């Protein structure tokens, strides 16, 4: 109750602007020695009970081994299909990206975020047309945003028209380019498995342009003095086809599964894969885009690298609706078709407000 009273007695927009003008992000607050979370970061979601009920931790988060994929194809397709239909999330090991590359990608992201603020400032922007930008909360000023997330991010467009190498910060330039090549190849493999899991030809989703666009988001979650008040990333589902996430060993990622929050266990050498809204839409609810979040933590920093697979910026006028081959009299379309431009504009305007993007497109 005290938090809500305080909420009414401060000028949120002025505080947001003052914070944003520093271009120092959340890390700047920590470097400044704060011991209390500023009001703009006090998140309603954090004030709810966040802990996982010890009685409900019997879930085994799906872990899929992609080794010998050509020999074990049917079994792997089945495992991915089941995980995509029930969890909307799974981890993959033996995915073809060497562990030293994963480790260096995490280090590269940390190097960027821990540079002197004067070195980072030129990258700070809210211009979505930029191919490389660093900021704190892309939806910081959204009217529907409930509170700021305890997180700084560096975003780079890597396909189909990637940022020029010199645009990417030198501290993580080489590894970002190398990692993006590896993760794109993994994305093609996953699309084949997703397609087969839907009973389609292996190249079906790739030919629909589901991996033409690739954006890489390097997230930095500083330690939080009052993690019970803040949230690393509020509850949301991704507005893409699918996401590949590399996380360090600190943890904090949770998936909303069977009406409760379940921890995604950090697994050395593994990558987390999750279904995005648009893959749920075109699969006509066969695959599920599941709500997830990241908790704030007294330990830090936590580093994660999210690779978002979508259409390229010049394919935003392409129309996507439920795939015809999946429809029947007993399985009519559950969503209206939309352009990617409309979907992205809607979800960006809506921000991370905790509500589903897909409900806007649902056929009632």
Q: What does the pLDDT look like over 8-53, one tens digit per residue?
A: 567 899 999 999 999 999 999 999 999 999 999 999 998 875 555 5
What confidence category does residue 5 fall into, taking pLDDT thresholds of 50, 70 and 90? very low
Strand pairing partners for 319? 339
Is the confidence at residue 266, as pLDDT, over 90? yes
> What's the mean per-residue pLDDT of the chain?
92
Backbone angles phi, psi at 154, to 5 degrees: -120, 120
Q: Could you write out the three-class secondary structure of the chain?
A: CHHHHHHHCCCHHHHHHHHHHHCCHHHHHHHCCCCCCCHHHCCHHHHCCCCCCHHHCCCCCCEEECCCCCCCHHHHHHHHHHHHHHCCEEEEECCCCCHHHHHHHHHHHHHHHCCCHHHHHHHECCCCCCCEEEECCCCCCCCCCCCCCCCEEEEEEEECCCCCHHHCCHHHHHHHHHHHHHHHHHHHHHHHHHHHHCCCCCCHHHHCCCCCEEEEEEEEECCCCCCCCCEEEEEECCCCCEEEEEECCCCCEEEEECCEEEECCCCCCCEEEEECHHHHHHCCCCCCCCCEEEECCCCCCEEEEEEEEECCHHHCCCEECCCHHHCCCCCCCCECCEEHHHHHHHHHHHCCCCCCCHHHHECC
Q: Say what the pLDDT of residue 3 is.
A: 47
Q: Say what the pLDDT of residue 312 is.
A: 67
CB-CB contact of 200 with 214 (8 Å): no
Q: Say what the pLDDT of residue 356 is.
A: 84
CB-CB contact of 282 with 321 (8 Å): yes
158, 167, 204: which is closest to 185 by C-alpha? Answer: 158
Q: Beta strand 253-257 with 292-295: parallel, antiparallel or unpaired? A: antiparallel
What confidence category does residue 355 fall into, taking pLDDT thresholds of 50, 70 and 90? confident
Strand pairing partners for 262? 255
pLDDT tens, position by position, 217-265:
999 999 999 999 999 999 999 999 999 999 999 999 999 999 999 999 9
Instruction: Give the angle subtended at the CA of 92 by the CAs of 106 and 161, to the nearest 5°.
Output: 60
CB-CB contact of 146 with 155 (8 Å): no
d(CA 194, CA 22): 43
CB-CB contact of 265 with 297 (8 Å): no
pLDDT tens, position by position, 306-347:
999 998 665 668 899 999 999 999 999 999 999 988 998 888
Residue identified by tokens 């629909």 is 208
Quick one: average pLDDT of 153-179?
A: 97
Q: Say what the pLDDT of residue 1 is.
A: 41
pTM, two decimal places: 0.94
202, 211, 186, 188: which is closest to 94 by C-alpha? Answer: 186
Residues 6+ apart with CB under 8 A from 29: 38, 222
Is the confidence at residue 175, as pLDDT, over 50? yes
Is the confidence at residue 142, as pLDDT, over 80? yes
Q: Say what the pLDDT of residue 322 is.
A: 98
Q: Check: CATH 3.30.70.100 for 2-361?
A: no
d(CA 50, CA 261): 8
């Amino acid at each position: 109750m005290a938090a809500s009273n305080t909420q009414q007695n401060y000028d949120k927009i002025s505080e947001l602007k003052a914070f944003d003008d520093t271009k120092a992000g959340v890390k700047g607050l920590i470097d400044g020695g704060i011991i209390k979370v500023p009001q703009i970061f006090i998140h309603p979601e954090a004030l709810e009970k966040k802990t996982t009920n010890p009685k409900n931790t019997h879930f085994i988060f799906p872990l899929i081994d992609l080794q010998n994929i050509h020999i074990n194809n049917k079994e792997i397709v089945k495992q991915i299909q089941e995980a995509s239909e029930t969890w909307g999330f799974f981890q993959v090991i033996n995915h073809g990206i060497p562990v030293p590359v994963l480790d260096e990608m995490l280090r590269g992201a940390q190097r960027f975020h821990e540079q002197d603020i004067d070195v980072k400032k030129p990258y700070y922007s809210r211009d979505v047309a930029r191919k490389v930008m660093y900021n704190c909360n892309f939806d910081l000023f959204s009217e529907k945003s409930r509170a700021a997330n305890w997180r700084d991010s560096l975003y780079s467009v890597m396909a189909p028209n990637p940022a020029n190498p010199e645009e990417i910060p030198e501290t993580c330039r080489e590894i970002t380019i190398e990692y993006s090549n590896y993760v794109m190849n993994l994305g093609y493999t996953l699309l084949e498995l997703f397609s087969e899991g839907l009973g389609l030809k292996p190249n079906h989703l790739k030919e629909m342009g589901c991996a033409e666009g690739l954006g890489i988001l390097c997230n930095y979650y500083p330690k939080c003095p009052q993690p019970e008040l803040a949230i690393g990333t509020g509850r949301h589902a991704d507005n893409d086809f699918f996401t590949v996430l590399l996380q360090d060993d600190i943890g904090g990622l949770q998936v909303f599964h069977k009406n409760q929050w379940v921890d995604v266990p950090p697994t050395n050498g593994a990558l987390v894969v999750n279904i995005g809204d648009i893959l749920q839409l075109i699969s006509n609810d066969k695959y599920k885009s599941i709500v997830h979040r990241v908790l704030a933590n007294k330990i830090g920093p936590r580093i994660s690298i999210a690779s978002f697979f979508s259409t390229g910026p010049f394919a935003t006028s392409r129309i996507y609706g439920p795939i015809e081959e999946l429809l029947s009299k007993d399985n009519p379309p559950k969503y209206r078709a939309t352009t990617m431009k409309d979907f992205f504009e809607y979800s960006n305007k809506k921000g991370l407000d905790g509500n589903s993007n897909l409900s806007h497109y649902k056929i009632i």
